[in-house]
Amino acid sequence: MLRLGRREFGAYEAVIMAIVNRTPDSFYDKGATFRDEPALARVEQAVAEGAAIIDIGGVKAGPGDEVTTAEEIRRTIPFIAEVRRRHPDVVISVDTWRHEVGDAACAAGADLLNDAWGGVDPRLAEVAARHGAGLVCTHAGGVQPRTRPHRIAYEDVMADILRVTLGLAERAVELGVRRDGILIDPGHDFGKNTRHSLEATRRLEEMTATGWPVLVSLSNKDFVGETLDKPVKERVLGTLATTAVSAWLGAQVYRVHEVAETKQILDMVASIAGHRPPAVARRGLA
């Protein structure tokens, strides 16, 4: 059982986490939700299309202009408070590696700390414990936030993913983070080249077999683009194919840009797996 905010999710319940970037320089939308009005509209649309989690980030993952802690707080905290006011039951996640931001976000109503940089700030887990929030434990290959991997190599990439994410998860439990609020994430593209991310996907069942809920952040990423030789805006089909494979291998939470399309993929895989009945079943019965 996964418990985040007011929501509980069963073992076979696929969960969509919709991305809302509070940045002027996002790799995907180029700042489309930097202002409040379009960002709030994005939240409304995502919830209507089936997202249970809204993931709010104030710093883009890649290199770029410096964003101070104070600026990250300015971009995210008032917005989190407004989303909480409008949507009491939605799970609010904040995409940050800084404990100061996590602390302010939880005080404003966030339920989940999405630490995409692999515990680079060890105090973030302490914040989650103090507020009773959930925590995403991610493998980032030991790279520093907002840097790209350079000639990175692993003897066994999945073995390293398991070592890091399970270690972070167990440390979080020891600090007092609720066990039913912890997820592990292989960290596609983070500290990995394309072949590493493909292998992490292919071997995802090794993560789901641990019993920890697995979150995958696949949406329009570089490993999809390089695999298919497609620019950012032409990676949706590759993303959805990777989503279907991940769903079949047992991932539970999907951090995405395209909510409606992802929901159809997840529903179809769940029905094939026998975890969800068809929405309509008339064929051959009349």
Instruction: List the catalytic residues.
Output: 221, 255
The two beta strands, 112-115 and 134-138, are: parallel
Rounded Cα–Cα distance for residues 252 and 12 (Å):
7
Residue 67 has, within 13 A of its CA and on its CB side, a CA count of 25
**β-sheet bridge partners, residue 216:** 254
- 40 CB-near residues (< 8 Å, 6+ apart): 79, 82, 83, 86
Rounded Cα–Cα distance for residues 268 and 20 (Å):
25
Rounded Cα–Cα distance for residues 190 and 235 (Å):
18
User: What radius of gyration, in Å, describes the C-alpha atoms of the chain?
Assistant: 18
Helices and strands in the chain: count of H runs, count of E runs:
10, 10
